[in-house]
Amino acid sequence: MRPMNGSSPVFASMTAVRAAFAVAAAVLVASCGEQQPKKAPAPPPPAVTISAPTQREVSDFDEYVGRFVAVNAVEVRARVSGYLESLHFKDGQLVKQGDLLFTIDKRPFQNSVDQARANLALARSNLAFTEADYTRGQQLVRDKTITDQTFEQRSQAYRNAQAAVAGVTAALRTAELDLEFTELRAPINGRIGDRRVSPGNLVTGGSGGNTTLLATIVSTDPIDFEFTFDEASYLRYERMAKNGMEDVASRGAGVPVALKLIDEPNFDHKGQMDFVDNVIDRSTGTIRGRAKFANANGVFTPGMFARIRVPATPPYKALLIPDVAIGSEQVRKFVLVVDGESTARAKYITLGQLVGNLRVIKDGLAADDRVIVNGMARVRPGQKVNTEPPGPPAQPAAGAAPAAAAK
């Protein structure tokens, strides 16, 4: 039995497929006619600040670690034995030369002085008698009143009396000196330490090794700074001296040096070299140097550590750039410079000392290079950059001091 409209099921199915293909084709044509989306514009070149290297005359410096040493240091010891009677200072105070520090019981020494003076009076009395007897004998021997032997006896007695007076006079001076030594006075200007013996104790004096130590005094102004440097540096300094430059090894030539304490950033303390030892230590291969510094405010203390900076080269002209403009690539250092096409290029450099916030460049950089000093982190070598007008060359910070690698 056929359908009433005369169509078959197969025909209806084919018609549906054709209609689906027609719809898909229409959608495809419509989509092809649409405009493709545009790509996002490329970002502009990064902005950087450039600066030309600073040209100035500098000197290289070496740094060493050392200690302060007192110019004068004295151990106060008794010269005579006796009981310590009193103190006349406070522990740790500043003293001046001649200030009274200790007093030893004077009574035994005063008795010795009195006895020596009595003996001197007796000896002088005997001298006066023998002198008068000798004078009379001179006339008597001429008159043949006394024999020559008797005159010689009077002459001998007179000479013995003279010697006795001289001996007793020396004994009196010794007794007076011992009495003077009962007052111990400061031999130098400086700062005294704490007392080692309290009043009432027996102190041993004299010149032997078992004398009693009462206190110590160290001078404070000026003060010495001692340090050591190696043999290679010593040879370099010697060759500088042969070229007519005052160097560290000149032994008292007054070479200016600078120093900083462990809590200070800059070498603000100025001094002068005044001594270099005459031998190199065999065990360490170093030689000892010494510089002198003023210490009016008493900040420097013997035994204190510090760092000293000494001239290492004659003055020379150098290029300097801000230290922040230097990058690292493993063990190599580089800077980014901008060429004539506004492209960043890397230049590998050899570093010198740090002068304030500027770094000396010994090799690898030209005076007319345009160095990127700000924005370096946003740039890669070979990349285009947008440079800002270069400002004036950077200068060292006020009061900054050159630094160098520690020895």
> Which of these CATH numbers, 3.30.930.10, 1.10.3720.10, 3.30.200.20, 1.10.287.470, describes 107-180?
1.10.287.470
Long-range Cβ pairs for the range 340-343 (8 Å, 24+): 341/384, 342/45, 342/384, 342/385, 342/386, 342/387, 343/382, 343/383, 343/384, 343/385
- pLDDT band at residue 401 under the 50/70/90 scheme: very low
72 Cβ contact list (under 8 Å, min separation 6)? 188, 190, 218, 219
- C-alpha triplet 271, 277, 283: angle, nearest 5°: 120
Query: Per-residue pLDDT tens for 324-376?
Result: 888 888 888 999 998 888 888 999 998 888 887 888 988 888 888 888 888 88
- pLDDT band at residue 395 under the 50/70/90 scheme: low
Domain 73-105+182-218: which topology?
OB fold (Dihydrolipoamide Acetyltransferase, E2P) (2.40.50)
DSSP 222: S
Strands (E) across 263-325 are located at: 269-276, 286-293, 305-311, 316-322
Distances, alpha carbon 187 to alpha carbons 31, 191, 263, 371, in Å = 109, 12, 34, 63
Task: Compute the radius of gyration of the chain from its Cα atoms.
Answer: 48
Decide if 48-58+317-402 and 107-180 have a common fold. no
| Structural domain boundaries in the chain | 48-58+317-402, 62-70+222-311, 73-105+182-218, 107-180
Got the DSSP string for 80-119?
S-EEEEEE-S-TT-EE-TT-EEEEE--HHHHHHHHHHHHH
> Which of these CATH numbers, 3.40.50.300, 2.40.30.170, 3.20.20.80, 1.10.260.40, describes 62-70+222-311?
2.40.30.170
User: Could you give the percent of the chain with pLDDT greater than 70?
Assistant: 82
215 Cβ contact list (under 8 Å, min separation 6)? 75, 76, 101, 102, 192, 193, 194, 195, 196
Query: Which residue, chain included where needed, has tokens 């190599």?
Result: 332
Q: What is the pLDDT of residue 21?
A: 57
Full-model pTM:
0.67
Instruction: Indicate if the pLDDT at residue 52 is higher than 90.
Output: no
Asked if 78 contacts 212 with a C-beta cutoff of 8 angstroms, the reply is: yes
Query: Per-residue pLDDT tens for 224-271?
Result: 999 999 999 888 888 877 666 666 666 556 788 999 999 988 888 999
Cα dihedral sign for 382, 378, 385, 345?
negative
User: Could you give the percent of the chain with pLDDT greater than 90?
Assistant: 43
Using CA atoms in the order 360, 365, 367, 368, what is the torsion angle rounded to 10 degrees? -140
Q: Domain 48-58+317-402 is in which class?
A: mainly beta
